[in-house]
Chain A
Amino acid sequence: MSPRTRSSVAAQRRAHASVFSALGDDTRLALIAHLANGLPCSISELTRDSRVTRQAISKHLRVLETVGMVRSVRHGREHRFEFRPHSIDEAKRYLEFVSAQWDEALGRLKSFVEK
């Protein structure tokens, strides 16, 4: 693999950072909870309700943006962040898909060992 291919694979991997791990952090969970009512908020608004610094909030928002859970929208001179519920649906649906596969496979195992 050429260095160039490797770095593009790495970039792809970063872009695929996961919804699941994005949610594995209390600050990010709180941000999502805040944004989940559907109203876009600015960083200042989000920082006001948090004990975390503006810089940290900004960093967490970037993580959520990378995985597609929030989107930054321009509102006059400031940026506001809005929640994209679709991102969670996808992750949940996938888990449900895998879960259903296991139900079927274990059903086959049951008939297999019980006959």
Chain B
Amino acid sequence: MTDRIEKRIELHAPISRVWRALTDYGEFGEWFRVKLDGPFTAGQVSTGHMTYPGYEHVKWEAIIEKMEPERLFSFTWPHPKSFDRATYTGDNSGAPRTLVEFRLEKTHNGTLLTLTESGFDQLPGDLRLEAFRRNEGGWTEQMKNIENYVTKNPQ
């Protein structure tokens, strides 16, 4: 079984533009749907909270690993047992963490972004992930709302 997620996407925007969208905390918050307390700094904890409708109670708590301009942005983040409002504790101290890496490469048309999230072998294999399954329908619904919003409100 795979221990990682990998996505590649070509963005029709210059690498400098993509780098800013990833590492400027205000811009990151816009598309990721999170309100961050302050700028990203390598080696520092980044805090905030999700702005996802219905998930505002979920904390953002990442540790910024690497910021190599226009090349690599990475952080680790926790995977709590549940995002369910009723059972979400906000205590990430015992939660397993995965590593998220955004790698950028210049292409003819813009920028190739490779996202990897790895370290899933740290995650619990027990059956307490039910909450995610229950929420799946809800999330999909929210994703659509947000896409609609973004399409209707280009800044």
Contact = CB atoms under 8 A, between A and B. Distances in A.
A24 B1 CA distance: 8
Interface residues of A, number: 44
A91 B125 contact: yes
A50 interface: no
Contacts of A16: 124-126
Interface string A79-103: 0000000111011111101111111
Interface of A: 9, 12-13, 15-24, 67-69, 86-88, 90-95, 97-115
Contacts of A112: 21, 27, 30-31, 150
A4 to B, nearest CB: 15
Given A13-B94, A111-B151, A114-B13, A69 B125 contact: yes
B127 to A, nearest CB: 6
B87 interface: no
A24 B115 CA distance: 23
A20 B147 contact: no
**Considering residues A16, A67, A103, A112, which has the most beta carbons from chain B within 10 angstroms of its beta carbon?**
A112
Contacts of B3: 20, 24
B150 A111 contact: yes
Interface in B120-141: 120-127, 129, 132-133, 136, 139-140
